[in-house]
Amino acid sequence: MILGYSEEPDRLVEEGKLLAKKALEVDPRDPIAHFAMGRNLFALSDHDGAIAALKYSLELNPNFALSYYGLGLVLTLSGDLDKGRTNIQTAIRLSPRDPLMVGFTSALGMACIMAGDFEEGLDWAKQSLRFPTPIGYWNHATLASAYANLGQMEEATKALKGAVKEKPDLSVSFLEKVLPTRHKDGFGLYMSGMRSAGLHDQSKFC
């Protein structure tokens, strides 16, 4: 749902928000429910609401790796790159064998690229390929962006082909929808790498 693996993402996000709200009515101090609310608000481009929900989730459970990851991603896409990276790194430290480690490392790679740290972004993107993944396009896409921003175009094109293999309708417009951002300059660096590697605006790869 969050990263676009659904035929009806808009409906499911709204439904997810309602379910999170019901969970909070049952137990307003449930950190998982606040995490769920934060993730759904992020998908609805409500960055401030998402940040508040995820921060409160961590007040309730300071060891909740998923909330550190979710908060780090939203902070990154809100333009607070240093705090974004710090939170994602905390998630990795707290849960080094997490089933969503591919998401943690892909997000950290993206955050580094958005900050202009292309070499570090490449390192994290390479690490993301080591983990089993239900979101196989994001790690390859981040790898493609890192390579392209470093001028390694052959590797960038190869990485992007891996992303498109996992997500045939991958496009600039798709990524802009599933990764809503308020930090246009930083996200522009990330997307310019993929455009240079061959990703088109509307579901077309060449």
pLDDT digits (tens, 9 = 90+) for 117-176: 999 999 999 999 998 766 679 999 999 999 999 999 999 999 999 999 999 999 999 999
Q: Output the average pLDDT for the chain.
A: 92
pLDDT value at 1 more than 60: no
Report residue 31 as tokens: 């950190």
Q: What percent of the chain has pLDDT over 90?
A: 84
Q: Are 124 and 157 in contact (CB under 8 A)?
A: no
Report residue 39 as tokens: 């993730």
Report residue 180 as tokens: 């809503």
Q: What is the pLDDT of residue 11?
A: 78
Q: Categorize the per-residue pLDDT at 63 as very low, low, confident or very high, splitting at 50, 70 and 90.
A: very high
- Asked: is 9-197 a CATH 3.40.50.1370 domain? The reply is no
Report DSSP state, residue 59: H
Q: Categorize the per-residue pLDDT at 70 as very low, low, confident or very high, splitting at 50, 70 and 90.
A: very high
The pLDDT of 75-95, averaged and rounded, is: 98
pLDDT value at 102 more than 70: yes
The pLDDT of 16-20, averaged and rounded, is: 90
Q: How many helices and strands in the chain, by DSSP H and E?
A: 11, 0
Length of the chain measured in residues? 206
Q: Following CA atoms 65, 71, 75, 81 in sequence, which dihedral angle do they give, to the nearest 10 degrees?
A: -10
> What long-range pairs does 87-95 form, CB within 8 A, spacing at least 24?
90/65, 91/65, 91/66, 92/65, 94/63, 94/65, 94/68, 95/65, 95/66
Q: What is the pLDDT of residue 86?
A: 98
pLDDT digits (tens, 9 = 90+) for 32-60: 999 999 999 999 999 999 999 999 999 99
Tell me what percent of the chain is helix, strand and coil, each rounded to the nearest 5.
70, 0, 30
Backbone phi, psi, residue 205, to 5°:
-120, 135
Q: What is the pLDDT of residue 192?
A: 97
pLDDT value at 67 more than 80: yes
Q: What is the pLDDT of residue 205?
A: 43
